[in-house]
Amino acid sequence: MKKTLPFIFALTLAGCASSPYVYHVEPTQLQSNQTQYNISSVVVNLELGHGAILGDESFATQEQLKKQFETSLIAQMKEKGIYAAKVGNKGFSVDLNINYKRNFNYGGKALNKPHISHSVFVLDGTQQKLASFSQGNYTTDYGTFGDVAVNIEIAAFSWDAEDELRDIELISKIIVEELADLGS
C-alpha cells in the first residue's frame, strides 16, 4: 500500500499535466482563438476498408477527398475567424496530414463510419515549426441523438457518398476547433 500510493499520485499528476499540443518554440507566439492561419498543404491518405468494390466510382477519389477537406477546413476556419488568405514573413501556415479509412457496409454500395487520424503542424513565415498536435484512430461522433440517426441510416444501407460530405465537415470542425485552441 505504501508503494502504491505514490505511484498513483504520480500517474494523476502526469495525466493532469498532459496537453495535446507540442510547442517547438517557447514561449509560443500563437494566441488561442486569435491567431490566423493559412493552409499550406493538406495531404489525405485514403484507405479503402473491407467491402470496397474495385473500380467503383460512386465515392470520391483521394484527390476529390483532398479538395473536399480543403474546402471544408477553410469554411470552418473562416467561421471561427482564424483563416488568413495569405501568409507573409510574419504569418502562420498549417500543414495537415489526414489518414482516412473508408469503411463499407456489406456489398460495398453503402458506407459505415470512417476511421480517421490526423496530424497538424503550424509553421511561421520562414517555415520554422512552431507547434503541432495530432489525434489518432477516431471516428465521427454526431452526439447521442445524431449518432442514432446516422446508425439507422448505416443499418438501412443508405449512408452514401453524399453523407460522406457530412463526415468530412465534422472531421474538419474537430481539426479547426483544436487549431483555434492552440496557443496561450
Tell me the domains of the chain and their CATH numbers.
Answer: 21-181 (3.30.160)
User: Among 179, 164, 170, which Cα is nearest to 58's?
Assistant: 164
Residue 2 banded pLDDT, cuts 50, 70, 90? low
Q: Judge whether residue 113 has pLDDT over 50.
A: yes
Residue 35, pLDDT above cutoff 50: yes
Window from 5-19, 61-75, 103-117, 145-159 with minimum mean pLDDT: 5-19
pLDDT category of residue 5 using cuts at 50, 70 and 90: very low
Model pLDDT, residue 91: 84
Say if residue 13's pLDDT is above 50.
Answer: no
For position 3, what pLDDT does the model report?
55
Per-residue model confidence (pLDDT) at position 11 = 47
Predicted local distance difference test score (pLDDT) of residue 17: 52
Tell me the whole-structure pTM to 2 decimals: 0.86
